[in-house]
Structure 1
Amino acid sequence: MTDDRKTTVPVWTLATADVRVPGLTAGESMTAERLTELRGALAVLADEPIVTLEAHPLPEKFDRGRGIPLDAASPLAHHLSQFITQSARTSLTAARATGSGEVLYRMVVPAKVAARFGQGLVCSMAAKGVAGGIRGPLVNSAGGIVGQATFVPVGKAAAAGTVGGAGATAGAAAAGGAALTVAAPLVLMAVAVGVSAHADQKRRQAVEHITELLEQLQEDKLDDERSALDGCRAAIDKATAILLDQGRLGVSLGLDSAVHTIDTALSKVEIRLGRWRSALDGVPEGEAVELGTLTKSFPGVDDQGGRFRAHLELAALAIALKRRVIVLQAVEHAQGDPGNVFENFVRVLKRDQRHLDELESGIAGVLVRLSALELARPNGLLPVFTPGEVDRLMSAAHRIHRLGDGVAVSGRPSDVAIEIARDRDGSVVVFPALAA
């Protein structure tokens, strides 16, 4: 979030289990840079995930349509309300920051923990026209994130409730080190909704790109693939709403058939990825390749919209939908194991997302290898080429070399921010998780 005003922002440290860390001085103000250092220290020193939660003034204008809305009775909104009510009783700073009821909460999950959610799940997106900026739903044209806010740690702010499943919120950790608020259910639900919103944002982007490509290609088979995948959204949306309200999934939702459709699409992605890799392996290292030879294995790679690019977007759509399903499965498992909330959630995510990470890495590798290829002059009887042939070769080389632009490669994981807008009636809107 960007806040151009001088603002005092309370920040809480939340644990997902009883842990001990070096003492934190509550009530002393700090800068954004100092807070970043604190997050890093907590991630290194604590055995269990430690996240921070900030409370900022709610911006006057932002796009709520990009998030997932939850009413005041939902577990996440309920946990957050309980937590803030208890905090306001023990901290004047917290009471002032949250008194209006309209607040933007920003939960930051450290990179050490965020890496458990999958390498391809959340990556930074450069803001247009802003050097080093991050594009998110609450970033304005200035591109800064919490530019002039002063952070004040809130000490020993316990949430009401007892240790339990996803519907409960724990109190403060036992003394003997810094007393952290143990709020595994609050963290779990925030991460689950933020990750689900992020995956759905990827789905929408993929559908938009596929629609544009298919209008040019007019290929019925690819259109059927797109329709079948996008048809899974209704079942996933319903299942998401039910689980986030702590309901139980039933056969009538149609989630099983949706998962089958998604798994079938992912199988096609694997087959296509294998063919792409084999085609690239057949190119002698260091030698140029003719455009005609390349387009046999990668149809339309030299065009602005071709079958190869449609296959890439279909892969992105299938992966995004599968990530949403995995989050649903993780939440369901966590709710079914009250004594092992966050750990169970992360375990399910890690196990099932490894395959998706490998697929995304494989596709990224293909795009990088393609972008590094050198195009050879086409063989012909005439030694001179027409201006049209030269233009086509130059244009194709430019498009192919740009395939590697923006490819997310495995690197140092970044902190992940989950922003939650809370209204006066207690309802919340959770925005897609993004790189902090």
Structure 2
Amino acid sequence: MTDDHEAIIPVWTLGTGDTPVPDLAGAELMTAERLTELRSVLAGLAAEPIATLEVHPLPDKLDRSRGIPLDAASPLAQHLSQLITQSAQSSSAAAKATASGEGLYRMVVPAKVAAQFGQGIVRPMAAKGAAGGILSPLVNSKGSIVAGTTFMPVSKAAAAGAVGGAGATAGVVAAGSAALTVAAPLVLMAVAVGVSANADRKRQQAVENITELLEQLHDDKLNSERSELDGCRDAIDKATTVLLDQGKPGVSLGLDSAVHAISKALEEARRRLGKWQSALDKLPDGKAVGIATLTKSFPGIDDDGGTFRAHLELAALAIALKQRVIVLQAVEHAQSDPDNLFRNFARTLKNDQHRLDALESGIAGVLQRLSALELARPSGLRPVFTTGEVDRLMRTAHRIHQLSNGVVLNNRTTDVAIEIARDKDGSVNVFPALAA
């Protein structure tokens, strides 16, 4: 999607607490570059986490299946509606942009704030069929985002839902400060649903990959592992619906069996990771490795779909499911302490995410080391090798070198974008959080 080059996009600066910051935005129109700079500066100056929220026209074609739908009565939809209603009373730009009742809202959380969630919880996700593409309604075929548009800061007279629940409101910060609307629940719920949608997208991809691999392997044990993990989805989906749609804390306690199955799968993944790392450590430095030696520790690595690749996808599935559970638990803890809403959420999320980051980084390191290996030619007394032996060596080398594709070793945190499609009836659809 691309906006009209003459379009003026309203942008709110949302705070998660009442904190004074210099009025750097003013009332002047801004470019996208200027908005990015402003966001970074405010993140550095504000004592409480801040975010920005833009509203764009709703695209004609939008793949809603990627997101999580919430009805108009959900806390997130109510907070957003309240922001729209109160902003329209004091800002002509906001009133015009939100008059139809529908739109695509884009919340961007600065990297400094996103770092509080854990480094690995949000990463770019490649779109199928588009090299380097990112799953985002605001990205066109060339990868540009809202090119040519200008942004109008919404008046500081606006107010949004504040700490305390869907019906609570709060004004802005003191006069002379930035147009900072206190909207902790809005930011919290947008981040929570966006991160949950992101994790569920990863789960879907892992299940698709595992299913394809297991159809070739016919391995009952791996099939059982996959089924037990994917069977956790129902409990997690129900908890997500109740907690995020109805806003009732405490439901994550009903996830005991699902959490137990996920924890078992994660421990299995850590055990396998340890074996892989040990096997790589035993290989001679700087020497070529025979295919037979490699397949002892990494069975099926020389095939299109082997046991090793199935183990990788099972680990990815367990991690994705655990990330959704972490989000649910973090929201529950945050809602139990309304006076410390966002910081409580971020602290819980970061603490639990740390071990997952270590597991993901360890697996990424193994794939990186494998992709750098040099394969030895077949051993034997014959001076000439058969065509089959040469073909196998070349195929295996190609597959191993491809293992590092998409591996992210640098967990440098970037800005996080959450996009929310709002319909005329007030219901919303929240898309997977992306590295902006």
What residue in structure 2 maps to residue 171 of structure 1?
A: 171
Q: Is the 8 A contact 2:162 2:184 kept in 1?
A: no
What residue in structure 2 maps to residue 205 of structure 1?
A: 205
Q: Cα distance 1:157–1:76, how it changes in 2: closer, same or farther (>3 A)?
A: farther
Question: 2:205 aligns to what SS in structure 1?
Answer: helix
Deviates more, 1:35-44 or 1:195-204: 35-44
What residue in structure 2 maps to residue 142 of structure 1?
A: 142
How far 1:131 sits from its partner (Å)?
8.3
Q: Is the 8 A contact 2:154 2:179 kept in 1?
A: no
Report whether the alignment pairs 1:380 with 2:380.
yes
C-alpha separation between the residues in 1 aligned to 2:403 and 2:126?
17
What residue in structure 2 maps to residue 264 of structure 1?
A: 264
What residue in structure 2 maps to residue 79 of structure 1?
A: 79
What residue in structure 2 maps to residue 238 of structure 1?
A: 238
Deviates more, 1:322-331 or 1:39-48: 39-48
Q: State the AA in 2 paired with 1:319.
A: I
What residue in structure 2 maps to residue 340 of structure 1?
A: 340
C-alpha separation between the residues in 1 aligned to 2:279 and 2:161?
59
What residue in structure 2 maps to residue 6 of structure 1?
A: 6
Q: Is the 8 A contact 1:53 1:105 kept in 2?
A: yes
User: For residues 13-42 of structure 1, what are the alpha-carbon distances to aligned partners after superposition, in whole Å with 9 as ceiling and x for unaligned?
Assistant: 001111122213443111111111111111
Size of the aligned set, in residue pairs, is 435
Report whether the alignment pairs 1:50 with 2:50.
yes
User: For residues 68-87 of structure 1, what are the alpha-carbon distances to aligned partners after superposition, in whole Å with 9 as ceiling and x for unaligned?
Assistant: 00000000000000011000
How far 1:239 sits from its partner (Å)?
0.3
Question: 1:72 aligns to what SS in structure 2?
Answer: coil
How far 1:277 sits from its partner (Å)?
0.3
User: Which of structure 1's runs of 4+ aligned residues deviate more than 4 A?
Assistant: 126-133
C-alpha separation between the residues in 1 aligned to 2:26 and 2:288?
63
Q: State the AA in 1 paired with 2:90.
A: T
Q: Is the 8 A contact 1:82 1:160 kept in 2?
A: yes
1:245-394 matches, within 5 Å, as: 245-250=246-251, 254-394=254-394
Q: Identity of paired residues, percent?
A: 73
> Unaligned 5+ residue runs, structure 1?
none
How far 1:161 sits from its partner (Å)?
5.1
C-alpha separation between the residues in 1 aligned to 2:8 and 2:132?
25
What residue in structure 2 maps to residue 154 of structure 1?
A: 154
Deviates more, 1:305-314 or 1:173-182: 173-182
C-alpha separation between the residues in 2 aligned to 1:383 and 1:234?
59
C-alpha separation between the residues in 2 aligned to 1:195 and 1:56?
21
Deviates more, 1:261-270 or 1:241-250: 241-250
How far 1:383 sits from its partner (Å)?
2.5
Q: State the AA in 1 paired with 2:296.
A: K
Q: Is the 8 A contact 1:79 1:168 kept in 2?
A: no
User: For residues 40-67 of structure 1, what are the alpha-carbon distances to aligned partners after superposition, in whole Å with 9 as ceiling and x for unaligned?
Assistant: 1112222221110001010111101110
Question: 1:377 aligns to what SS in structure 2?
Answer: coil
How far 1:183 sits from its partner (Å)?
0.6
Query: TM-score under structure 1 normalisation?
Result: 0.96
C-alpha separation between the residues in 2 aligned to 1:70 and 1:25?
32
Deviates more, 1:155-164 or 1:257-266: 155-164
How far 1:108 sits from its partner (Å)?
0.3
RMSD: 1.8
Q: State the AA in 2 paired with 1:301.
A: I
Report whether the alignment pairs 1:118 with 2:108.
no
